[in-house]
Amino acid sequence: MSTAPLLIEQEKIVVIDFGSKYNQLITRTIRELGVYSELHPHTVTAEELKSMQAVGIILAGGEKEDMFSIDSSLFDLGIPVLGIESGAQFIVKHFGGASELLDGFSSIDEEKQLYGMRLHPDAEKTDNLKGKIQHFVEDICETNASWSMQTLIEIEVEKIRSQVGDRKVLCALSGGVDSSVVAALIHRAIGDQLTCIFVDHGLLRKFEVESVVDTFSNQFHMNFIKVDARTRFLDKLKGVTDPEQKRKIIGNEFIYVFDEESAKLEGIDFLAQGTIYADIIESGTATKEVIKSHHNVGGLPEDMEFELIEPLKALFKDEVRAVGAELGLPSEIVHRQPFPGPGLGVRVLGEITEEKLDIVREADWILRDEIAKAGLDREIWQYFAILPDIRSVGVRNEKRSYDYAVGLRAVHSVDGMTADWARIPWDILEKISTRITTEVDHVNRVVYDITGKPPGTIEWE
């Protein structure tokens, strides 16, 4: 039995995960053509495909001849089916044909609307994939190109309104892309029935708190609660040096703070979450191991008695950003680089103190400022400063100094799973180093991390 989630009720091309490494790329390619598409596990049933308004089915198989089992009555639905690689072989075999397929795109059975396709090894880099997918989607499935972020916003706004009625919704807002876009979208739908809680744990970057307050409180005029929990977090972290323990303390304290604040509110029935499509796909395709468990608001306890609202769960990250821009969120939020939940807490190595947080915050700001001035801010995936627990000897104002070393990290990556260090031009690095050592107290040395992932990780803790 498949538990295909019903994400969006409208005509769609369903991509069935039959083991292809390109299945997400295929789904996105279809959406870029203006046609809505969803990726489902191979356990999806024909019944489900029909009820989710599939107008085309793609059996996205890989080069290996993995034959997954599939509900073959999907071939009787009268919906065009395109098999890719082992997906194509599956169709041919199922209908008793020889598995010799022509190169490229071919028709297996015109009357039954069955098609097959072979990919070039470098499908990602060529137009090969896109052109053929487009032919299938537009000419064979005869879809209308009506999918856009405006359509998504309209659909979700309607859905939220009818789900919530005159009741109230709570949103834990981090200032990150996902929760910010969720808040803006729900606010568009139900205005004052939404309340956002933003926890300032003192581990945020320079100007971040101001930017969040300004956007959501001053510009959007949301019911916005900022909780100043800086002392509370710092007290709990006093004397703690172990990275795992630090993460745990920050996570738990977040839950306590959030619990306390939400208990002060009355009549809340719903909790909004920034679950996105990657969270859903990663937590359950049937051809792969589970990569990570389902997204959960900072690990909130399961027994919280809220119904969930997850309006972004059908969207890829770049679509989430597009929705955010469409809703009027500022670029610094929409294009915010990934930032860990425990914030600067994992960028100050060893014990966290206010002084160390100030140092890393200032150094990080200078790095970000110079990267932006050099026009590299959209090019580099993630870049930040770290404060290792190291002091070294230097010279300042012609006197010996014994001060901190700051580490700089900048990486290129697609999904954070692997990363390569960014070749930032020397003169820019020099400028950053000079500014940090002159503008930030207690820093007399700057080092640049030239380790990839693996063997390093992106963050240092």
Give the annotated binding-site residues for ATP: 174-180
Q: Is 350 near ligand ATP (CB under 6 A)?
A: no
Length of the chain: 461
What is the smallest separation between the CB atom of 175 and ligand ATP, expressed in angstroms? Answer: 7
Q: Is 261 near ligand ATP (CB under 6 A)?
A: no
Q: What angle do CA 266, 267, 268 make, to 5 degrees?
A: 100
Contacting residues for 191 by C-beta, under 8 A, at least 6 apart = none
Q: Which stretch binds ligand ATP (CB under 6 A): 35-43, 146-154, 294-302, 412-420?
A: 294-302
Q: Is 274 near ligand ATP (CB under 6 A)?
A: yes
Q: Is 29 near ligand ATP (CB under 6 A)?
A: no
Look up residue 107 and give its two tokens. 């028709």
Tokens 């053929």, located at residue: 132
Q: Is 172 near ligand ATP (CB under 6 A)?
A: yes
Among 297, 359, 366, 386, binds ligand ATP (CB under 6 A): 297
Q: Which stretch binds ligand ATP (CB under 6 A): 12-20, 290-298, 375-383, 414-422?
A: 290-298
Residues 236-255 that bind ligand ATP (CB under 6 A): none
CB 326 within 8 A of CB 177: no
156, with CB counted inside 10 A (0-12, 13-18, 19+), is buried
User: What are the E-state strand segments in 90-153?
Assistant: 105-109, 114-117
- Give the three-state DSSP class for 124: coil
Look up residue 165 and give its two tokens. 């009625």
What is the smallest separation between the CB atom of 356 and ligand ATP, expressed in angstroms? Answer: 20
CA distances from 326 to 38, 149, 151, 172, 361 (A): 22, 8, 11, 21, 31
What is the smallest separation between the CB atom of 418 and ligand ATP, expressed in angstroms? Answer: 19
Nearer to ligand ATP, 54 or 329 (CB): 329
Torsion sign (Cα): 332, 205, 320, 227: negative
User: What are the E-state strand segments in 173-214?
Assistant: 194-200
Among 177, 312, 363, 419, binds ligand ATP (CB under 6 A): 177
**CA 37 – CA 456 distance, rounded (Å):** 36
Q: What kind and span of H or E run contains 236?
A: helix 230-237
What is the smallest separation between the CB atom of 339 and ligand ATP, expressed in angstroms? Answer: 7
Q: Which stretch binds ligand ATP (CB under 6 A): 47-55, 121-129, 154-162, 196-204?
A: 196-204
Among 298, 311, 324, 407, binds ligand ATP (CB under 6 A): 298
At what angle are helices 177-190 and 317-326 packed, to 10 degrees?
A: 40
Q: Is 198 near ligand ATP (CB under 6 A)?
A: yes
**CA 134 – CA 127 distance, rounded (Å):** 10
* Numbered residues of the known binding site: 174-180
Q: Which stretch binds ligand ATP (CB under 6 A): 169-177, 359-367, 411-419, 453-461?
A: 169-177
**CA 232 – CA 257 distance, rounded (Å):** 9
What is the smallest separation between the CB atom of 368 and ligand ATP, expressed in angstroms? Answer: 17
Among 45, 128, 151, 176, binds ligand ATP (CB under 6 A): 176
Q: Is 216 near ligand ATP (CB under 6 A)?
A: no
Nearer to ligand ATP, 135 or 226 (CB): 226
Among 243, 284, 330, 341, binds ligand ATP (CB under 6 A): 341
Q: Is 183 near ligand ATP (CB under 6 A)?
A: no
- Give the three-state DSSP class for 342: coil
Q: Is 416 near ligand ATP (CB under 6 A)?
A: no
- Residues that bind ligand ATP in the complex, under the rule CB under 6 A: 172-174, 176-179, 197-199, 201, 274, 295, 297-298, 341
